[in-house]
Amino acid sequence: MKKLFKNATVLSGEHILPQHSVLVDGDRIVNVAEKINESADTEVIDLDGDYLMPGFIDLQINGGGGSFFTKDLDENSLETIYKSHLKCGTTSYLPTLISTSMENIQTGIKVTKKAMEEGKYGVLGLHIEGPFFNPIKKGAHFEKFIHSPSDDEINLFTKDSDTIKLMTLAPEVVKSEQIVKLVQSGIKVSAGHSNASFDEAIEGFAAGITKVTHLYNAMSQLNSRNPGLVGAYLNSNDTWGAIIVDGIHVDLASVRLAYRLKKGRLFLVSDASFIEHPVNEFEFDGFKIHYDNGNYYTDDDKLAGSSISMHDAFKKCVDEVGISIFETMQMSSTFPARYLGIENEYGHIKKGYKADLVILDRFLDIKKVIKNGKVIEKKEACLV
């Protein structure tokens, strides 16, 4: 049965459309207009002015619902993570592998590839975060796995470019020609866990790096005599940035500054380790992480991902950073889709696009989540 969402404040990705209707047939949007005639074969849902926006797209999720992908490398893990974030409005995502063995990485690629081929769990591809990092900026990554890549390792990744959509690496420990090879294979490359100088960062951008990973965190900072990776990003017109807006990883004043300087080239990620079911502590690959006062840390007190959903970051951007609802919607959906090169199907409410939607009330709390045209039951939604 078709679904008609009427009397909505539609955040289309391009415009704010008050008192509009959106018609969904199957998993696609088939019409967006001020008035759409109702028919007998259509379920009508009156939003009474509530916001209707594209589903959140998160390009960096480590875990959720008690599962951590790098530790639990199987289909059940992807399903558990997906369901926990779906309730909070994230309809598509990149499961993220942190630094681990090449054997585990290969397993993660196979599991992700299968989910993609079967169209399951909102998986858009894989984000490999590490192990080609600078150990000085390892953060919550296990140093025993961190190293500079061999050409054989780079070639191995390029063979799976249909699955690997994003790789985070430190430009100063990876050869420019290796970055070029990854990019030419179709993999997006992001700079992170890096102590690069300004010049090294710019060289990395020239080689094809198009983004920085969790801006400000685990990277060389902006200072008077060496602007570092942060300064290189803020000075670049074209480079994108992903940022964790939980008020812990980045001070909100720094979020505000990045937004002002990089408006249109900044989007949100959760970098979630767990949501929904906090895990007090866990260990894998000999590495221990514990939960303390709402956040995850390593034994040496390094932040280990976040405990927020994209919806949490969305609300904080609007309520505390002062970014408009429309622009925050773009940072949560339209811009991640644009960066990933999938904005012909995702990140907008337009005819022909995927019917992945979120309904928010005037307080920005989630009322319903729609995935592939199917409404998630209210009892399952991430309601405050």
How much is the pLDDT for 331? 98
How many beta carbons lie within 10 A of that of residue 18, not counting itself? 11
pTM of the model: 0.96
Positions of CATH 2.30.40.10 in the chain = 2-53+348-380
pLDDT of 247-301, one tens digit each?
Answer: 999 999 999 999 999 999 999 999 998 887 667 777 777 777 788 777 788 777 7
DSSP letter assigned to residue 172: G
CATH of domain 56-340: 3.20.20.140
Q: Which residues, 6 or more positions from 201, have their beta carbon under 8 angstroms from its beta carbon? A: 171, 191, 194, 220, 228, 229, 232, 233
Q: Which residues, 6 or more positions from 40, have their beta carbon under 8 angstroms from its beta carbon? A: none
- 264, amino acid identity: G
How much is the pLDDT for 278? 67
How much is the pLDDT for 87? 94
Q: Return the CATH architecture of domain 2-53+348-380.
A: Roll (2.30)
207 backbone dihedrals φ, ψ, rounded to 5°: -80, -15
How much is the pLDDT for 245? 98
Q: Point out the residues that are catalytic.
A: 271
How much is the pLDDT for 349? 98
Show the tokens assigned to 154: 């780079």
How much is the pLDDT for 383? 43
How much is the pLDDT for 274? 83
Q: Which residues, 6 or more positions from 305, have their beta carbon under 8 angstroms from its beta carbon? A: 62, 63, 140, 271, 272, 273, 296
Positions of CATH 3.20.20.140 in the chain = 56-340
Stretches where the chain sits below pLDDT 50 are 379, 381, 383-384
